[in-house]
Structure 1
Amino acid sequence: MSGPVAPKDPEKDRSYFYIMKEKETFGSLQTQGEYQGRGVQFIYESDGRLESSAEVTGEVCDEEILKKLGTVEGFKSLVHSIGISVEMEHSREPVTFVFQMYGKEDLYGGGTLIETELRGDGAEVRITLDTVKWKTDDDVPGQIRFVFETPEQSARVNVRFFLKDGFFVPKPQEERVVDMESHGYQEMIERSLLSMGDAGRIRRVVEKARAGEPVTIAYIGGSITQGAGAVPLHTQCYAYRFWKAFAGKYGKNNNVKLIKAGVGGTPSELGMIRFERDVLRDGKEKPDLVVVEFAVNDEGDETKGRCYESLVTKILSMPDAPAVLLLFAVFANDWNLQERLAPVGERYQLPMVSIRDAVTPQFRQTKDRVVSKNQFFYDAFHPTNLGHKIMADCLMYLIDRAVCEPDILRRMHEKPVYGDEFAQVKLLDRRDGYERAKICCGAFSGTDQELQCVEMDDSLTPVPEFPYNWQYDGANGRSEDAFQMDIYCRSLLLIFKDSGAVDAGRADVFVDDTKVLTADPHVNGWTHCNPVILLEEKESGWHQVRIQMTPGEEEKKFTILGFGYVE
């Protein structure tokens, strides 16, 4: 064996911290765009995610360092170089690492791309930031991508930031392997049982499965239910793991079916509208158990609980009386909306599982800690494979306990906690009409195909949300021809598309000739479904809705994804 003729001098021993440490990644097949035919793992770092990764994975406590990670200028003043390593089965295959900065004016196209190619052999490659040609539009660190030549490969990656002179962080501590057979692990799982409620419906689902009858377990929620953080997403997410564990223990001859309908970044305000299409599949499916997971998504719910309660009562009131299980996930900062949402579960005596109650108390322990935050969280918001496994174990613990619990008298006729005015909400779009809605789409005559897509059930194939939409496209010519609708209803919600694209424009929304909203896709700034309440009355009546591009935005685009209405 021979070495290099003139080996480089060793790198200076710099202080560093990890933002990814032994993280599982999976290159999902890209069917269009720049990476078509290849596999890509996207890791988003904007909106505080990079700072959270430094805290959780890198154990960084220095507020000055964390603050600098929030902007490109701060990042450049702090970081000397980036170390990246990738380890996978095909160790000689090239992998491209991309760290994209987001732009001020052009969010996705105006920022610097820091790129390098490396092999999947575990050897670290360093990028020195002095060699990077920075762009003037740079604003904030945006996203990291690992691009694989062969799609659907798993890899374990590390990314660490080496700091410039004058900055120092303590060296990271070694983590212990999580012992899932330990007493501490079992205690952690048991803490997740927030309330058993009336276990009767759960027990009947188990009895049905044991008898060999068809059973369907369904989930509705946000990105955690979609599977974010799990690698690969479709078989390592908590929904799949719980379904598989339930079917293995209580099912017979593959009689248990999975329906997974998580949509990232969306609250129960959207969930209650899409429930019939995404979960019931337009009446084709009749779930026996529905897991509802919105505890980290409902901060943006305009009604502060009424939409969530409406969704819960919608499910409970179905003719087949499915069991409903409320699941409260948690963010890396120990936050969720459990205090707001748990009273709904108490009111309807529903089983409730709190991941926050299970894991957060032991995070603060050093001697008897079962799992660290870095081991549980993939990023600021989503669990790792291990985190998803813990969530599934918590759900199974409740099911196993419910089998032995007696029925209690259900109180369905008492007053709601917050209100259930939206329990009968229905979706209105190009496909699903309403006989008391008269629509003239005007210049909103196109159909947008660049939509938020999610992986449903146990599939990796992305499915577009709200494909039967109305799009205004100013590239086809400026127009002031508005979308107009006369509708008989009591309540009305608009669902519009958020976007970070520079050609996304704002639209003004009028109800009965009164402007109620300027819908701005750039507020959230990514391809995303955004529900907003336009009208809420005590009595039903005829109303006129008009949507037109905001003056000066006529050359841009805007998409009406659909409406939710209560007759």
Structure 2
Amino acid sequence: MPPYIIMPLFILSFLLLPTLSYASDDGPRVENLTETEIKYAHIYYYYNLTEHILPARDGDVSSGGYKFFIPAPERMAGITYVGHAARFRMVLERARKGERLRIGAIGGSITAGQGVGGARFTYIKKFIDWLNIVMPPNDTSGSPTAQQANFPTPSVDGANGTHPQHDFVNGAVPGTESAYSSSCLHHHLIPEPDLVFVDYAVSDLPSAPWTSEGHIRRPMERLVRKVLDLPTRPAVVLVNMFAMGPSYGKYWYTAERDFMEFATYYSLPAVSLKAAVLPAAYAGGPEKLALGAIFNGGLNHPGRGGHVVVFEVLVTLVMKTQRRFWRP
């Protein structure tokens, strides 16, 4: 079949996916999914990161330490920019040495947990749980956690572990754009952060008139600059999620393509759900990346599969960055 016929059919399959629905307590809803998509939708739904963690040497997760479910080519494709990542490298080194980090996440409804059954099933919660296991702080001394300090944490999972944990606040607010967080940053970001994850690729409008006055990318850049200029000089990671509805099923029709300008200019590590999944799906790649298995969280949100993909891409980013840091 000629490529010009395949591509419209591929886009049409995107537009059918909004009929898929949300995670429930009994498992993912699987209407309109193929047998393969149903199989992997259930695997992602019950994904348990503790079953994938392997022994590592002295916290050096770059030596191994994780049994990935997503193939390496797709995980590497999902790391869309690294740059010198100086702040990110320093934060990882501090974590490796056992320092207690203060980590925040800001974004919209995807990072808040809509479409997957709540915040405890998001990519960021999985990442924090993984970090607490493989590079926990040496002790519980220091400033109180965000919850102990009564900081507003509407999206934070309340489960407590049995070992010391890094301080973490998920400050994502459903239905908001970067302009909101830029104006109300202190209400949603953990005080004195060391590491901040920013996700507005779906929430912000996809098109940007760069040449006009007051263009719509100014709030995002203002937000990035505000976070970078905080007294603690935190590391920032751009997380670019993807959903079928806002993009109209088009690979390029998201704010992510403009956000990459900020990644390269400010040397911010960036990860991308669409870069990890869509090219492989279009080319008939691994069946575990079948679209229905990843994008079954409704019109505006990926399902749990999308969060698993981004989580494993973030772990890969950490390993890649640490490997380059320790083995120049």
- Whether these two folds match at TM > 0.5 is yes
> Which residue among 85, 89, 93 is the counterpart of 1:207?
93
Kept in 2, the 8 Å contact 1:192–1:354? The answer is yes
What is aligned with 2:292?
374
Q: Any residues of structure 2 matched to 1:29-428 within 5 Å, and which?
A: 55-56=16-17, 154-156=25-27, 158=29, 173-175=34-36, 177-178=39-40, 185-231=71-117, 233-252=118-137, 253-280=163-190, 285-299=191-205, 303-332=215-244, 333=249, 334=251, 335-366=253-284, 368-377=286-295, 378-406=297-325
Structure with bigger helix share is: 2
Go from structure 1 to structure 2 and tell me whether the alpha carbon gap of 1:159 and 1:213 turns closer, same or farther (over 3 Å shift): closer
Q: Cα–Cα, structure 1 residues 173 and 227, in superposed 2: closer, same or farther, change >3 Å?
A: closer
Higher strand proportion, which one? Answer: 1
Q: d(CA) in 2 for partners of 1:403 and 1:182?
A: 17
Kindly indicate whether structure 1 or structure 2 has the higher relative contact order, using CA contacts under 8 Å at least 6 residues apart. Answer: 2
Please list the CA deviations of residues 525-559 of structure 1 after superposition, one character each: whole Å capped at 9, or x if unmatched: xxxxxxxxxxxxxxxxxxxxxxxxxxxxxxxxxxx
Distance 1:172-1:270 versus aligned 2 partners, 3 A rule: closer
Q: Retained in 1: the 8 A contact 2:19–2:298? A: no
Q: 1:255 Cα shift?
A: 3.5
Q: Deviations over 1:411-461 (max 9, x none)?
A: xxxxxxxxxxxxxxxxxxxxxxxxxxxxxxxxxxxxxxxxxxxxxxxxxxx
Contact 2:22 2:116 (8 Å CA) reproduced:
no
> Relative to 1, partners in 2 of residues 1:202 and 1:182: Cα closer, same or farther, differing over 3 Å?
closer
Distance 2:278 2:260 in 1: 18
The answer for the alignment partner of 1:477 in structure 2 is: none
Distance 1:212 1:157 in 2: 37
Matched AA of 1:286: E
What amino acid sits opposite 1:375 in the alignment? A
1:316-360 superposed Cα distances (whole Å, 9 cap, x missing partner): 111111001111111122442122111011111111111111111
**What do the CA deviations read for 1:473-496 (whole angstroms, capped 9, x no partner)?**
xxxxxxxxxxxxxxxxxxxxxxxx
> Structure 2 regions of 5+ residues with no counterpart?
1-11, 45-66, 138-162, 209-213
Q: Is the 8 A contact 1:329 1:354 kept in 2?
A: yes
Task: Name stretches of at least 5 consecutive residues in structure 1 with no aligned partner.
Answer: 1-50, 60-143, 147-152, 161-170, 408-567
Structure 1 residues 158, 348: CA separation in 2 closer, same or farther (over 3 Å shift)? closer
> How far apart are the structure 1 equivalents of 2:240 and 2:22?
29
**Paired residue for 2:53?**
none
Among the aligned pairs, what percent are the same residue?
25
2:89 touches 2:325 (CA, 8 Å); kept in 1? no
The answer as to whether partners of 1:221 and 1:292 remain within 8 angstroms in 2 is yes
Q: Distance in 2 between matches of 1:145 and 1:373?
A: 15
When the two structures are superposed, what TM-score results if normalisation uses the length of structure 2?
0.68
Compared with structure 1, are the counterparts of its residues 199 and 385 closer, same or farther at alpha carbon in structure 2 (3 Å cutoff)? same
Q: Deviations over 1:498-526 (max 9, x none)?
A: xxxxxxxxxxxxxxxxxxxxxxxxxxxxx
- Against the structure 1 CA distance between its residues 234 and 183, is the aligned structure 2 distance closer, same or farther, given a 3 Å change threshold? closer
* Aligned amino acid, residue 289 of structure 1: L
Whether contact under 8 Å (1:230, 1:237) holds in the other structure is: yes
Query: Quick check: 2:109–2:174 contact (8 Å CA) kept in 1?
Result: yes
3-state secondary structure, aligned to 1:209: helix
Shift of 1:275: 0.9
TM-score under structure 1 normalisation? 0.41
Contact 1:57 1:373 in 2 (8 A): no
Q: Decide which structure has the larger Cα Rg and report it.
A: 1
**What does the per-residue CA deviation read over 1:76-114, in whole Å, with 9 as the maximum and x for residues that have no partner?**
xxxxxxxxxxxxxxxxxxxxxxxxxxxxxxxxxxxxxxx
Query: Could you say if the C-alpha distance between residues 243 and 372 of structure 1 is closer, same or farther in structure 2, counting changes exceeding 3 Å?
Result: same
Q: 1:299 to 1:216 in 2, by over 3 A?
A: same
Shift of 1:159: 7.5
CA-CA distance at 1:225 after TM superposition? 0.9
Aligned length: 252
- Give the 3-state SS of the residue equivalent to 1:239 in structure 2: helix
Contact 1:219–1:291 at 8 Å: present in 2 too? Answer: yes
With over 3 angstroms needed to count, the CA separation of the structure-2 counterparts of 1:218 and 1:260, relative to structure 1, is: same
CA drift at 1:58: 6.4
CA RMSD of aligned residues (A): 3.1
In 1, distance between residues paired with 2:30 and 2:263?
Answer: 41
